[in-house]
Amino acid sequence: MSGHGTTVPMTARRGGALKGEAHVPGDKSISHRSLILGALSVGETRIEGLLEGEDVLDTGKAMQAFGAEVIQHGPGRWSVHGVGVGGFAEPAQVIDCGNSGTGVRLIMGAMATSPITATFTGDASLNGRPMGRVTDPLALFGTQAYGRKGGRLPMTIVGAADPVPVRYTVPVPSAQVKSAVLLAGLNAPGQTVVIEREATRDHSERMLAGFGAKVVVETLPEGRVITLDGQPELVPQDIVVPRDPSSAAFPVCAALLVEGSDVLVPNIGLNPTRAGLFTTLIEMGADLTYENLHEEGGEPVADLRAKFSPNLKGIEVPPERAASMIDEYPVLSVVAAFAEGETVMRGVKELRVKESDRIDAMAKGLRAAGVTVDEGEDWWIVTGRGHGDVPGGVTVESRLDHRIAMSFLVLGLATQKPVTVDDASPIATSFPIFESLMATLGAAITRSNG
Ligand code: S3P
């Protein structure tokens, strides 16, 4: 688990062009959901292309602790023998979700309406993140939560023995909160309704329907209204996990910034609730194209081709696009540093409660590297210096945050002087092959000594 292992400092420096194919791992959001929904089905779900990052492996261990059988058959090939909706057993040990907000919040939802008690913990990053956003709606089902001050982990959840269905409007744009309520609604009688004012990633709705639940999604003036019929029998599935657009973002952005680069990132899931970064990069003038666009499992998928783009322009990112690229703002801020003019990012308060405060983490590191960044509670502006003109020559903190670590390593591939990340070990939570994959493209990223 990140935060418990050895610190791994890494340095990125300017080198030759990046060339070749980048086969990024499976989608993290879909991987978590495959394990959890598999555990809530009766019988065997088979999964191909599962992300074998620490976050997802922790969710797999948790599903075992709740009574499911989770088995690895080969690289990315897993099966889950589920116990059915309402079939979770009480875990004998504390559930450690490591670094994963998605893991802990979705699992809390999945157990909240069963008559069992479980205690959750995580690493220093996860134990600092707010859980009230999930335990507040779970309380409406009759679930009790006992955590630390401010609704922090470690936290004990006492599942509702007699859950009632819930109608809940999610107060912040969060797929984790939406999904926790839907998963809790599975074991409540009647209909559970979740309303989101802004659309967030819709993997839970799609996958619940795929596993045989009745889920109706309507777009009404109040927002996206999702109605789930409780107590379905979920039917095990064969799942092929698409490759993660949030991981694809790193080789794509690196290729745009490194002179002479031409990188193909095959088979990337382009669900519109996830693809906002690519639209934004194209608007900034990136030489980024979709090849071989087709559908897989009802989702748009394409090969992304990214080429060196020396004439990027800063833009105002539409705030209504934020949810569809929420995990990509750190690496976008790196691209913005090499663009001409300002890149304005508004409506992004959620970035402050991710694995780290991502606005603060990026702003401090970019400023140290010679880039002007202005910020407020829910906005930030990066003033680009144009291609070739970002000094670098700094050591920055990754703050137990995989995306901060990878973003700064992308930065260092194009700055005048190298950039060192104090600890790149968190990258293993979501993108365990990042180092080797970037090396095959020719990126000059090396382990450095403290
Ligand atoms: C995720 C939802 C998002 C995202 C996270 C994955 C999910 O979090 O940042 O990486 O799989 O539901 P929020 O729900 O906090 O926006």
Between CA 123 and CA 101, with CA 269 as vertex, the angle to 5 degrees is: 15
Statement: residue 220 has pLDDT above 80: yes
Between CA 323 and CA 333, with CA 327 as vertex, the angle to 5 degrees is: 105
Domain extents in the chain: 10-26+242-447, 28-165+175-187
* Per-residue pLDDT, 3: 46
Q: What is the mean pLDDT of residues 170-198?
A: 98
- Decide: residue 7, CB within 10 A, 0-12 exposed, 13-18 middle, 19+ buried: exposed
Rounded CA-CA distance 345/367 in Å is 17
| Top mutation candidate among 37, 100, 102, 177 for ligand 1, by most atoms within 8 Å of CB | 102
Percent of the chain with pLDDT over 70: 99
Statement: residue 228 has pLDDT above 90: yes
Q: Rounded to the nearest whole angstrom, what is the distance from the C-alpha of residue 105 to the centroid of ligand 1? A: 10
* Per-residue pLDDT, 450: 45
Q: What is the mean pLDDT of residues 210-229?
A: 97
Average pLDDT, rounded, for the chain:
97
* Per-residue pLDDT, 66: 99
Rounded CA-CA distance 325/352 in Å is 15
Residue 2 pLDDT level (bands cut at 50, 70, 90): very low
At residue 30, what is the residue type? I
Q: What is the mean pLDDT of residues 389-410?
A: 98
Rounded CA-CA distance 227/153 in Å is 30
pLDDT tens digits, 144-157: 999 999 999 999 99
pLDDT tens digits, 111-147: 999 999 999 999 999 999 999 999 999 999 999 999 9
Q: What is the mean pLDDT of residues 17-44?
A: 98
28-165+175-187: what fold? Answer: UDP-n-acetylglucosamine1-carboxyvinyl-transferase; Chain (3.65.10)
Q: Rounded to the nearest whole angstrom, what is the distance from the C-alpha of residue 100 to the centroid of ligand 1? A: 10
* b/e sequence 301-334, b meaning 16+ C-beta within 10 Å: bbbbbbbbbeebbbbebeeebbbbbbbbbbbbbb
Inter-axis angle of helices 132-141 and 175-185, to 10 degrees? 20
* Per-residue pLDDT, 260: 98
10-26+242-447: what fold? Answer: UDP-n-acetylglucosamine1-carboxyvinyl-transferase; Chain (3.65.10)
Rounded CA-CA distance 268/270 in Å is 6
Rounded CA-CA distance 177/135 in Å is 9
Statement: residue 347 has pLDDT above 50: yes
**3-class state of residue 444 by DSSP:** strand
Statement: residue 1 has pLDDT above 50: no
Statement: residue 235 has pLDDT above 70: yes
Ligand 1 neighbours by CB, cut-off 6 Å: 29, 102, 174-176, 179, 201, 326-327, 350
* Per-residue pLDDT, 295: 86
pLDDT tens digits, 300-339: 999 999 999 999 999 999 999 999 999 999 999 999 999 9
Domains 10-26+242-447 and 28-165+175-187 share a fold: yes
* Per-residue pLDDT, 449: 67
Statement: residue 297 has pLDDT above 80: no
pLDDT tens digits, 36-80: 999 999 999 999 999 999 999 999 999 999 999 999 999 999 999
Q: What is the mean pLDDT of residues 412-439?
A: 98
Rounded CA-CA distance 315/380 in Å is 12
| Top mutation candidate among 36, 201, 202 for ligand 1, by most atoms within 8 Å of CB | 201
Determine which one of 123, 327, 401, 423 is catalytic. Answer: 327
pLDDT tens digits, 264-285: 999 999 999 999 999 999 999 9
CB neighbour list of residue 211: distance below 8 Å, 6 or more residues apart: 37, 40, 41, 234, 235, 236, 237
